[in-house]
Chain A
């Protein structure tokens, strides 16, 4: 076992200890199919929570998206995202000659699954913000990949913005039924439908 594997096991254990990181597979079973998971974004911990809620054998091929400038800025951050999480790096600054989705497309062509937060930034309000169009473009280019909505509960209570130490509070990740881009669905209605699918997974009790 390498040091990265060990670190991964440790992080998953800590995430479970602090939050329980329970995965509720409501709409589909956890299978080794190529998928794009998309979820609401409230905290830095969102990715770790989804990752810890996945069964161990799916973790290696399910990759997060990381901002290149931030996550390669120190050797430790770079090691963590590259070796442990196998992250896909994207540039936050848009350059004219490069498509920002290019690294994601490459990862999907390799057969990996992705976790994306289509709101783009963390929202502190209960309702997720409007989705960015990346999800639509990926759905267009890879119609065979399942799009799985997910709702992460309670995580904003674990680590509010500006705090560094997490408080132990139980969290759940609810996975919904896979959806697909309709044959002649336009961008706006698809993104609204995707957002509604995520919001619909929110448990009633809060």
Chain B
């Protein structure tokens, strides 16, 4: 460990990426070798799903790597583009009316760039309140000015929600990258890594547990696998992993346990809420082949991050009393 602490922060992060990419490469090669043998159709279906998830992980890690390599400006731009694509997908699946046009324009071309500009300039106090306070009021005003009272509340709720998840939530990922801890400068990437790992492990454990226990689902109409026990165990697994990873973060082990729990719980609950949204919009995957949209399923992938990042970001800043 002595050798590791002598490295500079950026060298440590580079090493982290080398390790992550190495592990991914090993897993990919292993999966390829396994698939060379003959298998039954059930195994093949599972393998297809696994391959899809693995590809998503590759893309995700590459995005984070690009974000880190390209510095503050590049990171905000990159996540800004992702926000744009995600919001485009979200709005496509919601039924909007003609009178929503101006509100949507504001969401895409004013709110989104403004939010990311604030992230890039590290005005973190403003980042946390701009959308929940100011945009929350501005969007209904623009809507009302369009003069169409039909389904007014419903239409605005849809747009607000899209902005909250796709812009507000996701913009906290680059914000974490740019967050400076005293004595921990330039190591935001470790925080993002911490968050993503904890949320991912919580999700995997939750899936496995719900298959293991076969409890009665809490909300059958929304998710056949979600139960309190599986969720709790998933979040707990996230917390334990968080505590085990405390040395890459500015936290002490007990703090890392709590932070891990918060991130894991928010991520898995976010996934659950997204399932409800999907059921409401009538799609199984966002990237459903049969749907008109030709959507690529980006929302599915970012949902846990979009929910976990703001909660995690805020609790870290609040607990450590960080000012920008």
**Contact of A165 with B105 in the complex, beta carbons under 8 Å:** yes
Report how far A13 CA is from B283 CA in the complex, Å. Answer: 28
**Contact of A205 with B91 in the complex, beta carbons under 8 Å:** no
Residue from A160, A163, A168, A205 within 8 A of B292 (CB atoms): A205
Report how far A22 CA is from B296 CA in the complex, Å. Answer: 11
**Contact of B84 with A168 in the complex, beta carbons under 8 Å:** yes
Asked if B88 is at the interface of the complex by the 8 Å CB criterion, the answer is yes
* Chain A residues in 8 Å Cβ range of B109: 165
Report how far A11 CA is from B241 CA in the complex, Å. Answer: 48
**Contact of B291 with A205 in the complex, beta carbons under 8 Å:** yes
Given contacts A154-B292, A203-B291, contact A170 B101 (CB under 8 A): no
Residue from B92, B282, B290 within 8 A of A169 (CB atoms): B92
Asked if A61 is at the interface of the complex by the 8 Å CB criterion, the answer is no
Most chain B beta carbons < 10 A, residue from A24, A153, A163, A167: A167
A202 to B: closest C-beta gap in Å:
9
Asked if B321 is at the interface of the complex by the 8 Å CB criterion, the answer is no
**Contact of B294 with A20 in the complex, beta carbons under 8 Å:** yes
CB-based nearest B residue for A156? B98
Report how far A170 CA is from B89 CA in the complex, Å. Answer: 7
Asked if B223 is at the interface of the complex by the 8 Å CB criterion, the answer is no
CB-based nearest A residue for B92? A170
* Chain B residues in 8 Å Cβ range of A153: 292
List CB contacts (< 8 Å) of B271-309 with chain A. 282, 290-295
Residue from B84, B108, B293 within 8 A of A170 (CB atoms): B293
Asked if A183 is at the interface of the complex by the 8 Å CB criterion, the answer is no
- Interface size classification for chain A: 10 to 19
Asked if A122 is at the interface of the complex by the 8 Å CB criterion, the answer is no
**Contact of A168 with B294 in the complex, beta carbons under 8 Å:** no
B213 to A: closest C-beta gap in Å:
35
Asked if A172 is at the interface of the complex by the 8 Å CB criterion, the answer is yes
**Contact of A206 with B84 in the complex, beta carbons under 8 Å:** no
**Contact of A163 with B291 in the complex, beta carbons under 8 Å:** no
**Contact of A154 with B293 in the complex, beta carbons under 8 Å:** yes
Asked if A157 is at the interface of the complex by the 8 Å CB criterion, the answer is yes
* Chain B residues in 8 Å Cβ range of A163: 101
A21 to B: closest C-beta gap in Å:
9
Asked if B256 is at the interface of the complex by the 8 Å CB criterion, the answer is no
CB-based nearest A residue for B98? A160
List CB contacts (< 8 Å) of A1-47 with chain B. 20, 22, 24
CB-based nearest A residue for B81? A17
* Chain B residues in 8 Å Cβ range of A205: 282, 290-292
9 A-B Cβ contacts within 8 A?
A22-B294, A154-B293, A163-B101, A165-B105, A167-B91, A167-B101, A168-B91, A170-B88, A170-B92
Asked if B104 is at the interface of the complex by the 8 Å CB criterion, the answer is yes
B99 to A: closest C-beta gap in Å:
9
**Contact of A170 with B96 in the complex, beta carbons under 8 Å:** no
Report how far A163 CA is from B96 CA in the complex, Å. Answer: 15
* Chain B residues in 8 Å Cβ range of A20: 88, 293-294
**Contact of A160 with B101 in the complex, beta carbons under 8 Å:** yes
Report how far A154 CA is from B84 CA in the complex, Å. Answer: 18
List CB contacts (< 8 Å) of B55-105 with chain A. 84, 87-89, 91-92, 96, 98, 101, 104-105
* Chain B residues in 8 Å Cβ range of A203: 290-292
* Chain B residues in 8 Å Cβ range of A170: 88-89, 92, 292-295
A122 to B: closest C-beta gap in Å:
14
CB-based nearest B residue for A167? B104
A53 to B: closest C-beta gap in Å:
10
Given contacts A154-B92, A167-B108, A205-B282, contact A172 B293 (CB under 8 A): yes
**Contact of B294 with A24 in the complex, beta carbons under 8 Å:** yes
Given contacts A167-B91, A168-B108, A169-B91, contact A157 B96 (CB under 8 A): yes
List CB contacts (< 8 Å) of A133-180 with chain B. 153-154, 157, 160, 163, 165, 167-170, 172
CB-based nearest B residue for A204? B290
**Contact of A167 with B292 in the complex, beta carbons under 8 Å:** no
